[in-house]
Amino acid sequence: MDRSQKREAVAELNEVFKTNAVVVVAHYAGLTVADMQKLRREMGKAGGTVKVAKNRLAKIALEGTDAASIGALLKGPTLLAYSKDPVAAPKVAVDFAKAHDKLVILGGAMGATALNADSVKALATMPSLDELRAKILGLLVAPATKIAQLSTAPAAKLARVFGAYAKRDEAA
Protein backbone atom coordinates (compact mmCIF):
# COMPACT_ATOMS: atom_id res chain seq x y z
CA MET A 1 0.00 0.00 0.00
CA ASP A 2 1.58 3.29 -1.03
CA ARG A 3 1.04 6.70 0.61
CA SER A 4 -1.81 7.80 -1.63
CA GLN A 5 -3.71 4.56 -0.99
CA LYS A 6 -3.15 4.99 2.75
CA ARG A 7 -4.45 8.58 2.57
CA GLU A 8 -7.56 7.37 0.73
CA ALA A 9 -8.11 4.59 3.28
CA VAL A 10 -7.76 7.04 6.20
CA ALA A 11 -10.16 9.50 4.54
CA GLU A 12 -12.68 6.72 3.89
CA LEU A 13 -12.47 5.43 7.48
CA ASN A 14 -12.74 8.97 8.85
CA GLU A 15 -15.97 9.42 6.88
CA VAL A 16 -17.24 6.08 8.24
CA PHE A 17 -16.56 7.17 11.83
CA LYS A 18 -18.23 10.55 11.29
CA THR A 19 -21.39 9.42 9.45
CA ASN A 20 -22.41 6.14 11.11
CA ALA A 21 -24.43 5.93 14.31
CA VAL A 22 -22.60 2.93 15.74
CA VAL A 23 -19.25 1.18 15.27
CA VAL A 24 -18.55 -2.27 16.73
CA VAL A 25 -14.97 -3.57 17.12
CA ALA A 26 -14.35 -7.33 17.23
CA HIS A 27 -11.51 -9.82 16.91
CA TYR A 28 -11.94 -12.20 14.01
CA ALA A 29 -8.88 -14.47 14.31
CA GLY A 30 -9.76 -18.00 13.28
CA LEU A 31 -12.80 -17.18 11.13
CA THR A 32 -12.74 -18.77 7.71
CA VAL A 33 -13.22 -16.81 4.51
CA ALA A 34 -16.68 -18.37 4.17
CA ASP A 35 -17.57 -17.20 7.69
CA MET A 36 -16.40 -13.66 6.89
CA GLN A 37 -18.44 -13.64 3.69
CA LYS A 38 -21.48 -14.85 5.61
CA LEU A 39 -20.97 -12.10 8.22
CA ARG A 40 -20.66 -9.46 5.50
CA ARG A 41 -23.80 -10.78 3.77
CA GLU A 42 -25.84 -10.75 6.99
CA MET A 43 -24.57 -7.29 7.89
CA GLY A 44 -25.44 -6.02 4.42
CA LYS A 45 -29.00 -7.35 4.73
CA ALA A 46 -29.38 -5.46 8.01
CA GLY A 47 -28.06 -2.23 6.50
CA GLY A 48 -24.56 -2.36 7.94
CA THR A 49 -21.03 -2.95 6.70
CA VAL A 50 -18.07 -5.01 7.90
CA LYS A 51 -14.58 -3.74 7.18
CA VAL A 52 -11.14 -5.04 8.06
CA ALA A 53 -8.70 -2.15 8.25
CA LYS A 54 -5.14 -1.69 9.40
CA ASN A 55 -5.25 -0.69 13.04
CA ARG A 56 -2.69 2.06 12.57
CA LEU A 57 -4.71 3.65 9.76
CA ALA A 58 -7.95 3.28 11.71
CA LYS A 59 -6.39 5.04 14.72
CA ILE A 60 -5.32 7.93 12.50
CA ALA A 61 -8.82 8.10 11.00
CA LEU A 62 -10.35 8.20 14.49
CA GLU A 63 -8.66 11.49 15.36
CA GLY A 64 -11.19 14.31 15.60
CA THR A 65 -14.26 12.04 15.51
CA ASP A 66 -16.80 11.14 18.20
CA ALA A 67 -15.73 7.49 18.04
CA ALA A 68 -12.15 8.26 19.13
CA SER A 69 -12.71 6.20 22.29
CA ILE A 70 -12.40 2.91 20.37
CA GLY A 71 -8.73 3.55 19.54
CA ALA A 72 -7.63 1.45 22.54
CA LEU A 73 -9.58 -1.56 21.20
CA LEU A 74 -7.68 -1.63 17.91
CA LYS A 75 -5.05 -4.25 18.74
CA GLY A 76 -4.57 -7.51 16.92
CA PRO A 77 -6.76 -8.81 14.09
CA THR A 78 -9.79 -6.52 14.42
CA LEU A 79 -12.76 -5.82 12.21
CA LEU A 80 -15.13 -2.86 12.24
CA ALA A 81 -18.87 -3.35 11.88
CA TYR A 82 -20.88 -0.18 11.45
CA SER A 83 -24.33 1.04 10.47
CA LYS A 84 -26.48 4.16 10.41
CA ASP A 85 -29.15 2.33 12.46
CA PRO A 86 -27.81 2.23 16.05
CA VAL A 87 -29.06 -1.33 16.56
CA ALA A 88 -28.37 -3.09 13.23
CA ALA A 89 -24.60 -3.63 13.46
CA PRO A 90 -24.57 -4.71 17.14
CA LYS A 91 -27.51 -7.08 16.58
CA VAL A 92 -25.90 -8.87 13.62
CA ALA A 93 -22.47 -8.96 15.28
CA VAL A 94 -23.80 -10.40 18.55
CA ASP A 95 -25.96 -12.98 16.76
CA PHE A 96 -23.01 -14.02 14.60
CA ALA A 97 -20.71 -14.20 17.65
CA LYS A 98 -23.17 -16.57 19.36
CA ALA A 99 -22.94 -18.99 16.43
CA HIS A 100 -19.19 -18.51 15.80
CA ASP A 101 -17.05 -18.43 18.94
CA LYS A 102 -14.04 -17.15 16.94
CA LEU A 103 -15.70 -13.72 16.61
CA VAL A 104 -15.05 -11.90 19.90
CA ILE A 105 -16.77 -8.56 20.40
CA LEU A 106 -14.45 -6.10 22.13
CA GLY A 107 -16.63 -3.01 22.29
CA GLY A 108 -17.52 -0.05 20.16
CA ALA A 109 -18.87 3.46 20.04
CA MET A 110 -22.30 4.97 19.56
CA GLY A 111 -21.66 8.59 18.74
CA ALA A 112 -19.46 9.96 21.52
CA THR A 113 -20.46 7.15 23.90
CA ALA A 114 -17.89 4.38 24.35
CA LEU A 115 -19.35 0.87 24.55
CA ASN A 116 -17.82 -2.17 26.18
CA ALA A 117 -18.71 -5.71 25.07
CA ASP A 118 -21.67 -5.92 27.48
CA SER A 119 -23.02 -2.58 26.24
CA VAL A 120 -22.89 -3.81 22.65
CA LYS A 121 -24.78 -6.95 23.67
CA ALA A 122 -27.38 -4.85 25.51
CA LEU A 123 -27.75 -2.61 22.47
CA ALA A 124 -28.31 -5.70 20.31
CA THR A 125 -31.37 -6.69 22.36
CA MET A 126 -33.12 -3.39 21.69
CA PRO A 127 -35.68 -3.17 18.87
CA SER A 128 -34.50 -1.59 15.62
CA LEU A 129 -35.72 1.78 14.39
CA ASP A 130 -38.16 0.10 11.99
CA GLU A 131 -39.60 -2.05 14.78
CA LEU A 132 -40.03 1.03 17.00
CA ARG A 133 -41.74 2.91 14.19
CA ALA A 134 -44.13 0.00 13.66
CA LYS A 135 -44.99 -0.09 17.36
CA ILE A 136 -45.65 3.66 17.45
CA LEU A 137 -47.81 3.42 14.34
CA GLY A 138 -49.75 0.56 15.94
CA LEU A 139 -50.31 2.65 19.05
CA LEU A 140 -51.54 5.57 16.96
CA VAL A 141 -53.95 3.43 14.93
CA ALA A 142 -55.29 1.48 17.93
CA PRO A 143 -57.50 4.29 19.36
CA ALA A 144 -59.23 4.83 16.02
CA THR A 145 -59.92 1.11 15.74
CA LYS A 146 -61.34 1.00 19.26
CA ILE A 147 -63.59 4.01 18.59
CA ALA A 148 -64.91 2.31 15.45
CA GLN A 149 -65.60 -0.85 17.44
CA LEU A 150 -67.38 1.10 20.19
CA SER A 151 -69.54 3.04 17.74
CA THR A 152 -70.74 -0.16 16.05
CA ALA A 153 -71.19 -2.11 19.28
CA PRO A 154 -74.50 -0.49 20.42
CA ALA A 155 -76.09 -1.11 17.02
CA ALA A 156 -74.96 -4.73 17.08
CA LYS A 157 -76.39 -5.17 20.59
CA LEU A 158 -79.74 -3.71 19.49
CA ALA A 159 -79.84 -6.03 16.50
CA ARG A 160 -79.20 -9.04 18.75
CA VAL A 161 -82.00 -7.95 21.13
CA PHE A 162 -84.46 -7.48 18.24
CA GLY A 163 -83.42 -10.84 16.83
CA ALA A 164 -84.03 -12.52 20.20
CA TYR A 165 -87.52 -10.94 20.45
CA ALA A 166 -88.34 -12.03 16.91
CA LYS A 167 -87.29 -15.64 17.65
CA ARG A 168 -89.32 -15.61 20.87
CA ASP A 169 -92.44 -14.35 19.05
CA GLU A 170 -92.02 -17.00 16.31
CA ALA A 171 -91.73 -19.75 18.92
CA ALA A 172 -94.92 -18.64 20.69
pLDDT at 69 over 90: no
Q: What is the pLDDT of residue 147?
A: 65
CA-wise closest residue to 120 among 104, 101, 102: 104
**Hey, CA dihedral for 18, 23, 28, 31, is it positive or negative?**
negative
The pLDDT assigned to 51 comes to: 93
Q: What is the pTM of this model?
A: 0.72
Backbone angles phi, psi at 112, to 5 degrees: -90, -5
Indicate the CATH number of 3-126 among 3.30.1950.10, 3.40.50.720, 3.30.70.1730, 1.10.357.10: 3.30.70.1730
Residue 38 pLDDT exceeds 80 = yes
Summarised one tens digit per residue, pLDDT across range 90-148 is 999 999 999 999 999 999 998 888 889 898 898 888 887 778 888 888 877 777 666 66
In what order do the strands lie in the sheet containing 113-116? Answer: 48-51, 78-83, 22-27, 104-110, 113-116
Chain centroid, CA 140 distance in Å = 23
Q: Is the pLDDT of residue 149 over 90?
A: no
